[in-house]
Amino acid sequence: MTFKLRPLPYAKNALAPSISERTMEFHYEKHHGGYVNKLNAALEGKDLGKSDSLEEIIHKSYKDESAKGVFNNAAQVWNHDFFWRSMAPNGGGEPGGKLGDAIKSTFGSYDQFCSSFVEKAGAQFGSGWAWLVNDLGKLKIVTTPNAVTPIVEGQSPLMTCDVWEHAYYLDYQNDRPGFVKTFLDKLVNWEFAAERFSQQGDGDEGGQRRFREQEEKYAHAG
């Protein structure tokens, strides 16, 4: 199967000034688009290329030295699709509802969640990602290096912030914490995160099934 660059959920200038149109042009078209092209090239002639699910390719190529190029590019395609949907114009601020309650009970308060998220995102050495995940019913802030995605550890991401330099350097230069703070204040799409959180259920089978169905649908939409 050949993968395509999925359309952005908003216009390239929709997140400005928090993320400039120029950053979006480079980040979406050159970086994300580049991963899609390199993934297709890396899959050519490989059995893995017969799979039509991006997630299946990610799971099968993880920690396989002979499929490193496939994993890195497939996971980066997945991570970027997820990152764009983790943001919205006029996003940010404190979420309400079940997710807001879960964040407060897990991290003490929304402010504590934010400082911990900014701190962990800043402490990720080199390139990587900061995530809020649902790990079998428990909310966690995790970071992953390079292309690694929490789905390979069985965690369900709720939102992510790209902390590769290409995500913020044009707008924030070396101020990664400033970028991550703006991500939380102005960009993070809590509706998207809350919808995923509610679909994951509290471990009830119906919720888990609906969540898996939605993931499948997403995996096949690429």
Amino acid symbol at 134: N
Distance between CA 19 and CA 86 in Å, rounded? 14
CB of 61 to Mn ion, least distance (A): 19
CB of 211 to Mn ion, least distance (A): 25
Judged by beta carbon, residue 34 or residue 201, the one nearer Mn ion is 34
Judged by beta carbon, residue 19 or residue 99, the one nearer Mn ion is 19
Piece in contact with Mn ion (CB under 5 A), picked from 96-104, 117-125, 155-163, 207-215? 155-163
Piece in contact with Mn ion (CB under 5 A), picked from 36-44, 45-53, 154-162, 214-222? 154-162
Judged by beta carbon, residue 55 or residue 162, the one nearer Mn ion is 162
Distance between CA 11 and CA 176 in Å, rounded? 24
Judged by beta carbon, residue 161 or residue 194, the one nearer Mn ion is 161
Among 28, 82, 131, 164, interactor with Mn ion by CB under 5 A: 164
User: Could you say which DSSP state residue 87 is in?
Assistant: B
CB of 79 to Mn ion, least distance (A): 7
Among 39, 113, 133, 162, interactor with Mn ion by CB under 5 A: 162
Piece in contact with Mn ion (CB under 5 A), picked from 160-168, 175-183, 189-197, 202-210? 160-168
What DSSP line would sit under the chain, residue for residue? Answer: -----PPPSS-TTTTTTTS-HHHHIIIIIIIIHHHHHHHHHHHTT-GGGG---HHHHHHHHTT-GGGHHHHHHHHHHHHHHHHHHTB-TT--S---HHHHHHHHHHHSSHHHHHHHHHHHHHHS-SSEEEEEEEETTEEEEEEEETT--GGGGT-EEEEEEE-SGGGTHHHHTT-HHHHHHHIIIIIB-HHHHHHHHHHHTTS-HHHHHHHHHHHHHHHHH-
Nearest residue by C-beta to Mn ion?
162
CB of 87 to Mn ion, least distance (A): 12
CB of 27 to Mn ion, least distance (A): 6
Judged by beta carbon, residue 77 or residue 133, the one nearer Mn ion is 77
Does position 172 interact with Mn ion (CB under 5 A)? The reply is no
Judged by beta carbon, residue 70 or residue 77, the one nearer Mn ion is 77
The three-class DSSP label of residue 219 is: helix
Q: Give the count of residues interacting with Mn ion (CB under 5 A).
A: 2
Binding region for Mn ion (CB under 5 A): 162, 164
